[in-house]
Amino acid sequence: MNKTITLRHLRCFMAVAQTRSFTQAAQRVYLTQSSLTTTIRQLEESLGLRLFDRTTRQVSLTAAARHFQQHAEKLLRDFDMLIDDTRALANGYSGHLSIAAAPSIVVTVLAPALVEFRARSPGVSVSLRDAGSAEIEHRVLDGKVDFGVCSRLQNHPELEYRPLLRDRYGVVCSADHPLAALERPVTWDDVSRYRSDWVGLASDTLVGRVHKQILGDDAPSAYLEELSSTSMLGPMLALGNRFSIIPGLTQVAHQLDFLRFLDMAPPHIERELCLVTRRLRSLSPAASTLLACMFEELTRFDLPAGMDLVQEANTGDLFSPRTPA
Let me know if 313 is exposed, middle or buried by CB neighbors in 10 A (0-12, 13-18, 19+): buried
* Average pLDDT of the chain to the nearest whole number: 84
Instruction: Give whole-number Cα distances, 136 to 20, 125, 255, in Å.
Output: 31, 20, 23
Q: What is the 3-state composition of the chain as percent helix, strand, coil, each rounded to the nearest 5?
A: 50, 20, 30
- Crossing angle of helices 63-91 and 285-300, in 10° steps, is 70
pLDDT of residue 41: 92
Cα Rg of the chain, angstroms: 25
For 225-238, what is each residue's pLDDT tens digit?
888 777 788 888 88
pLDDT of residue 94: 65
For 42-87, what is each residue's pLDDT tens digit?
999 999 889 998 887 789 999 999 999 989 988 998 888 878 767 6
What confidence tier does 220 reach under pLDDT thresholds 50, 70, 90? very low
pLDDT of residue 221: 53
Per the confidence metrics, is the pTM higher than 0.85? no
Q: How far is CA 302 from the centre of its chain?
A: 25
For 141-180, what is each residue's pLDDT tens digit?
988 999 999 989 888 999 999 999 888 889 999 888 999 9
Whether the predicted pLDDT of 323 surpasses 50: no
pLDDT of residue 80: 85
For 261-270, what is each residue's pLDDT tens digit?
899 998 888 8
d(CA 314, CA 310): 8
- Start-to-end CA distance of the chain, whole Å, equals 42
Instruction: Give whole-number Cα distances, 322 to 49, 91, 201, 264, in Å.
Output: 40, 24, 34, 37
